[in-house]
Amino acid sequence: MSDENNQELSHIRGIRSYVLRQGHMTRLQSEALKNLMPIWGIEYQQNNIDLNEIFSSEHPKILEIGFGMGQTTFEMAKNRPDIDYLGVEIHGPGVGNLLHLIDKEKLTNIRVIRHDAVEVIDSMLEDDVLSGIHIYFPDPWHKKRHHKRRLIQPPFIHKLVPKLKSGGYIHLATDWEDYAYQMLDVLSKEQNLVNSFETFAPRPDYRPVTKFELRGKKLGHDVWDIIFTKNN
């Protein structure tokens, strides 16, 4: 069986890109989840949602998958009130943290979904609605036997691309070299995507250094950014 078919099967068998850790939740995060999710959160549902209606705006929409504790998402949204950010994250403490930050600064251009991004893409997003997709430091699953859990694989990217408008971009970053080359390979093989740079991209000003990136840097890791644009 080819690698690609194998990966396709992995997704069908429901292999996840995350393991739900219990994780300590502070009181602030759990209160934010309880009180602010009804305001800034969107419940997972099996129907398409209308992003312009939800944000009450026709600003460009950026999807961020796996925002962790949400600090980066928060900073980007604060810097660009003319862009709407939809963050999807499965980890409760991180979702609570971002909700708290949104409320503290009274930002109106972030909405949050606490669910598996693969299912959100499958059932909630219409085609041709996103101007950009950010996936920063997805779990590297660095042991070979765990590579099947990596998010950036052909079947997932294949689902993502139709959600982008023409001219929209996918921006990935990682501090694992072999994953960086995997990302480059997967995106290069996707029809309708063109590399905006020759190979890897310099970190653009709009992307703040993330929490996981800092952790990687402390371990002496390099960082690779990858930016591809949808060409039709």
Window 31 to 90, contacts with ligand SAM (CB under 6 A): 65-68, 88-90
Any idea which residue has 């862009």 for tokens?
83
Residues 122-161 that bind ligand SAM (CB under 6 A): 136-139, 151
Residue 116 as a binder of ligand SAM (CB under 6 A): the answer is: yes
139 is catalytic: yes
Q: Which is nearer to ligand SAM, 160 or 187 (CB)?
A: 160
Is residue 216 a contact residue for ligand SAM (CB under 6 A)?
Answer: no
Strand order in the sheet with 130-136: 110-113, 84-88, 61-65, 130-136, 164-174, 224-230, 193-195
For residues 109 and 81, the answer to whether their CB atoms sit within 8 Å is yes
Pairing of strands 110-113, 84-88: parallel
Separation CA 20–CA 92 (nearest Å): 9
CB of 166 to ligand SAM, least distance (A): 26
Q: Any idea which residue has 């930050």 for tokens?
A: 101
CB of 67 to ligand SAM, least distance (A): 5
Residues 6+ apart with CB under 8 A from 59: 82, 83, 84, 109
Question: Please, what is the minimum distance in Å from the beta carbon of residue 40 to ligand SAM?
Answer: 17
Q: Considering the candidates 3, 82, 84, 139, report the single residue annotated as catalytic.
A: 139
Q: Which stretch binds ligand SAM (CB under 6 A): 2-10, 160-168, 194-202, 209-217?
A: 209-217
Span interacting with ligand SAM, options 40-48, 103-111, 114-122, 176-184, rule CB under 6 A: 114-122
Least Cβ distance, residue 187 to ligand SAM (angstroms): 18
Listed residue (175, 182, 180, 172) closest to 215, CA to CA: 175
211 binds ligand SAM (CB under 6 A): yes
Rounded Cα distance between 34 and 32, Å, is 5
Report, as residue numbers or ranges, the catalytic residues: 139
Contact residues toward ligand SAM (CB under 6 A) are 17-18, 65-68, 88-91, 94, 116-118, 136-139, 151, 210-213
